[in-house]
Chain A
Amino acid sequence: GENVEQHPSTLSVQEGDSAVIKCTYSDSASNYFPWYKQELGKGPQLIIDIRSNVGEKKDQRIAVTLNKTAKHFSLHITETQPEDSAVYFCAQGRKTSYDKVIFGPGTSLSVIP
C-alpha cells in the first residue's frame, strides 16, 4: 500500500541544537524521497531529496539518510536557527505510470532563540 508515517508531529529545539525527523514508508517500489518545508502562509518548498540508490545526502546544515531495508528515511538539521521554524513534510514517489507523490502528515518544528 501507499502510506508514509512521520514522527514526531511537533518538535521544539533550542537554537543551535540539532533536529531529527523520521519517516517510514510502506511502498517497497518507492525510489524517490523528497523533503518539503512549509512556512506560514506559503506552499511547501523542496529542501532536499534522495533517491533509492543513495544512502545519505548533505546540503550545508541539512542531511537526509535512507535505509531501504527498513523502509526508513530521516531529515537531520544541524545548528538550527529561528528561520528553520516551519512544518516539514517527508514524501515518497516512484517512477511508474502511476505518477503521484505521497506525503507524510508533517512535523511542526519550533526553534527557540
Chain B
Amino acid sequence: KAGVTQTPRYLIKTRGQQVTLSCSPISGHRSVSWYQQTPGQGLQFLFEYFSETQRNKGNFPGRFSGRQFSNSRSEMNVSTLELGDSALYLCASTQIRASTGELFFGEGSRLTVL
C-alpha cells in the first residue's frame, strides 16, 4: 500500500512569489491535514480537509489556503511569500477523523524563501 506522497520535495522561491504544494493521501483515506514545521516551533496546524470541505483551520494568515479534490488529493497554496514561510510543510492523511486516530505523514515539502 503506497504511503502519503508529497510533491515537490524541495523548492526555492523568492519573496512575493506564490507556491502550490501537493499531497496524495493513502488510498481510502478521506481526511488530509497540513502542518508547518519550523525549528523550535514544532508542528503548527494549518488546516484539515474531509470530502472536499475544510473542517478546521489553524491560526495562519489568509495567504495560506488549501483545497481538496474529489479523489481526496489535496493542495495548499501560499501567496505573497515571506522569508518566514521557509519551512517543512507536512501533509498527513487518515481514514475519517484526524483527532482520534493515527495520522500518516508524508516526507514533506521543504520550502526555502529567499
Contact = CB atoms under 8 A, between A and B. Distances in A.
B100 A100 contact: no
Interface in A84-101: 89, 93-101
A55 B69 CA distance: 40
B48 A100 contact: yes
Interface string B92-114: 10000111101101111000000
B103 A46 contact: yes
B105 A105 contact: no
B48 A99 contact: yes
Interface residues on A, range: 20 to 34
Interface string B45-86: 100101000011010000000000000000000000000000
Nearest to A105: B42
Contacts of A98: 55-56, 99
A8 to B, nearest CB: 13
B31 interface: yes
A43 B43 contact: no
A99 B97 contact: yes
B100 A32 contact: yes
Nearest to B105: A43
Contact of B31 (A31, A36, A99, A103): A99
Given A31-B100, A43-B105, A46-B102, A101 B33 contact: yes
